[in-house]
């Protein structure tokens, strides 16, 4: 099987849709000889920030000279981004080989009359298998959806991280904020420490679950915090404190911009300190070095294209849009904006638009590269700004947005990772 054939195989698995549950993934991993138990893991869930926190934490491990795997989703451009070792995406050749290995056992399951694993379950099993083949020492595993019934929830981690809990995917996670919190709490294991930035009712549910499972829980704003010192135009300068750990004003620089990354970095640092009790290679120096170098494409990422400032951000729900709007207001308060949007139809589009847009914004609506894409004309009819255009082709939408921005306004692309990944690549191609 070559790389294109592996992609065709994965595409064919889409007919099975998204099915929560652990029966299929458990059986598949049994046939693969339980690769997920051959290294230590960190499990990360949350409504927003779990990808950023995962990347930061994986960077901390790598810069502590620990061989580290990272499993994230979705990808921006290529499936190979989803599984990395020491910051390097899996090669297309290894991707195809691993898919081929997993497919052998999927075929066996089907031949024995069992239900076929879904696409995400196959990718998850493949990532666990790949990390075992590459002899990683730790793997940072990001949850795909929820937590309790997500196919990643077959690991026994060294720490569980729950970034925050807001209202998304309610149809699959209990229908309420409380139901969502219970699903996130599903990754809490007996005696395994938990690090979280959840608040309010959601935090109470997580604390109750941690108490029931005799798991220590460390809460942002209570047991640890990071605060802003300054911004030098390219990096944020921050400080981490934890009276609980006896850490006072640990200063560090963060290449990843955005106020939300302050909290995400605090989660990564706190988790690293928790793991330090078992892994002495993690030090304050390796933490600071990692955060200064870690990047996360497509998450409030600033790119300059021949004098045009462009923000690429994967915000794809109301909470993410609220954070994006806040960051635009903080970092570019006086700049007029051209907003390039593409949103999936199963999102809370009305609230997303309300959270992000200002009355004087110029908005271009286009189509994300997904079969779940919303109708751009329908989205445009919901928008109440001065200037709105629809360009269904993302390339045309980008060209028109650049024309309207004219190096005077800031251009911000957002709404879906399925949009900004392709747009980001188009912008980088223009820079060459």
* Per-residue pLDDT, 334: 86
Count the helices and strands in the chain (H runs, E runs).
14, 17
Q: Are 39 and 139 in contact (CB under 8 A)?
A: yes
Same domain, 159 and 202: yes
pLDDT at 364: 98
Verify that 282 and 305 share a domain, yes or no.
Answer: no
Residues 248, 128 share a domain: yes
Q: Determine what percent of the chain is predicted with pLDDT higher than 70.
A: 98
256 and 289 assigned to the same domain: yes
Q: Looking at the predicted structure, is the pLDDT value of residue 304 above 60?
A: yes
Q: Above 70 in pLDDT, residue 284?
A: yes
Quick one: what percent of the chain has pLDDT higher than 90?
83
Euclidean distance between CA atoms 366 and 341, whole angstroms: 6
| Kind plus residue range of the DSSP H or E element containing 394 | helix 394-405
What pLDDT does 193 receive?
98
Number of domains into which the chain is organized: 2
- Among 238, 262, 293, where does a domain finish? 293
Query: Contact 322/313 with Cβ under 8 angstroms?
Result: no
- Same domain for 346 and 251: no
Q: Which of 293, 313, 347 is the last residue of a domain?
A: 293
Residue 259 has pLDDT above 70, yes or no: yes
Q: Which pLDDT belongs to residue 19?
A: 80
CATH code for position 418: 3.90.190.20
163-175 pLDDT tens trace: 998 865 545 555 6
Over residues 28-43, the pLDDT tens digits come to 999 999 999 999 999 9
Residues 6+ apart with CB under 8 A from 385: 357, 358, 359, 360, 361, 362, 363
Residue pair 75/296 in contact by the 8 Å Cβ criterion: no
The pLDDT of 70-86, averaged and rounded, is 94
Check whether residue 88 and residue 227 sit in a common domain: yes
Residue 207 and residue 309 in one domain: no
Residue 64 has pLDDT above 90, yes or no: yes
Query: Do 271 and 149 fall within a single domain?
Result: yes
Mean predicted confidence (pLDDT) in 93-113? 97
DSSP-derived 3-state class of residue 191: coil
User: What average pLDDT does this structure show over 79-108?
Assistant: 98
Does residue 183 have a pLDDT over 70? yes
Residue 393 domain boundaries: 301-431
Q: Is the pLDDT of residue 44 over 80?
A: yes
Q: Is 238's pLDDT higher than 80?
A: yes
Q: What is the pLDDT of residue 170?
A: 47
Residue 220 burial (10 A CB sphere; 0-12, 13-18, 19+) = buried
Name the residue with tokens 């809990």. 165
So what's the pLDDT on residue 166? 80
Are residues 103 and 202 both part of a single domain? Answer: yes
Q: Select from 285, 294, 330, 292 the least CA-distant residue to 311.
A: 330
Place of tokens 């959270």: 355
83 burial via Cβ count (<10 Å: 0-12, 13-18, 19+): buried
* Pairing relationship of beta strands 217-219 and 225-231 according to DSSP bridges: unpaired
Span 94-105, average pLDDT: 98
- CA-nearest of 318, 320, 314, 317 to 298 is 314
Residues 311, 285 within the same domain? no
Q: Do residues 84 and 139 touch, judged by C-beta distance below 8 A?
A: no
**CA gap 64, 54 in Å, rounded:** 15
Ordered DSSP codes for 33-88:
T-GGGSSEEEEEE-SSSHHHHHHHHHHHHHHTT--EEEE-SS-SS-GGGGEEETTE
The two tokens of residue 328 are: 């635009």
Q: Which residue has the higher pLDDT, 239 or 15?
A: 239
Domain boundary among 266, 293, 320: 293
pLDDT one-digit tens code per residue, 367-411? 998 889 999 999 999 999 889 999 999 999 999 999 999 999 999
């Amino acid at each position: 099987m070559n790389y294109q054939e592996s992609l065709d195989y994965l595409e064919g698995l889409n007919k099975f849709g998204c099915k929560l549950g652990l029966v299929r993934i458990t059986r598949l991993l049994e046939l693969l000889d339980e690769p997920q138990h051959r290294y230590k893991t960190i499990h990360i869930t949350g409504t927003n920030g779990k990808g950023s926190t995962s990347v930061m934490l994986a960077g901390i491990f790598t810069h502590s000279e620990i061989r580290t795997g990272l499993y994230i989703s979705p990808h921006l451009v290529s499936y190979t981004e989803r599984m990395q070792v020491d910051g390097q995406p899996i090669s297309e050749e290894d991707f195809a080989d691993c898919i081929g290995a997993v497919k052998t056992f999927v075929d066996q399951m089907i031949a024995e009359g069992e239900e076929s694993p879904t696409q995400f379950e196959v990718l998850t099993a493949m990532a666990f298998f790949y990390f075992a083949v590459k002899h990683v020492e730790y793997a940072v595993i990001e949850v795909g959806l929820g937590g309790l019934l997500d196919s990643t929830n077959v690991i026994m981690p060294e720490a569980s991280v729950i970034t925050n809990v807001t209202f998304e995917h309610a149809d699959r996670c209990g229908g309420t904020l409380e139901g969502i919190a219970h699903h996130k709490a599903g990754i809490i294991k007996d005696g395994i420490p938990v690090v979280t930035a959840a608040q309010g009712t959601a935090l109470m549910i997580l604390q109750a679950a941690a108490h029931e499972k005799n798991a220590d829980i460390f809460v942002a704003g209570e047991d640890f915090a990071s605060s802003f010192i300054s911004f030098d135009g390219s990096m944020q300068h921050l400080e981490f404190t934890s009276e609980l750990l006896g850490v006072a004003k640990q200063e560090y620089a963060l290449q990843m911009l955005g106020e939300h990354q302050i909290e995400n970095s605090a989660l990564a640092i706190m988790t690293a300190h928790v793991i330090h009790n078992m892994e002495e290679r993690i030090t304050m120096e390796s933490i600071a070095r990692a955060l200064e170098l870690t990047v996360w494409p497509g998450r409030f990422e600033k790119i300059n294209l021949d004098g045009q400032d462009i923000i690429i951000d994967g915000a794809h729900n109301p909470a993410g849009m609220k954070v994006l709007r806040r960051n635009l207001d903080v970092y570019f308060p006086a700049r007029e904006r051209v907003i390039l949007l593409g949103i999936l139809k199963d999102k809370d589009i009305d609230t997303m638009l309300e959270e992000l847009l200002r009355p004087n914004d110029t908005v271009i609506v286009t189509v994300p590269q997904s079969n779940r894409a919303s109708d751009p004309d329908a989205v445009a009819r919901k928008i109440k700004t001065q200037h709105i255009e629809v360009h269904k082709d993302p390339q045309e939408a980008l060209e028109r947005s650049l024309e309207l921005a004219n190096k005077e306004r800031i251009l911000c692309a957002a709404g879906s990772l399925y949009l900004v990944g392709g747009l980001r690549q188009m912008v980088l191609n223009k820079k060459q």
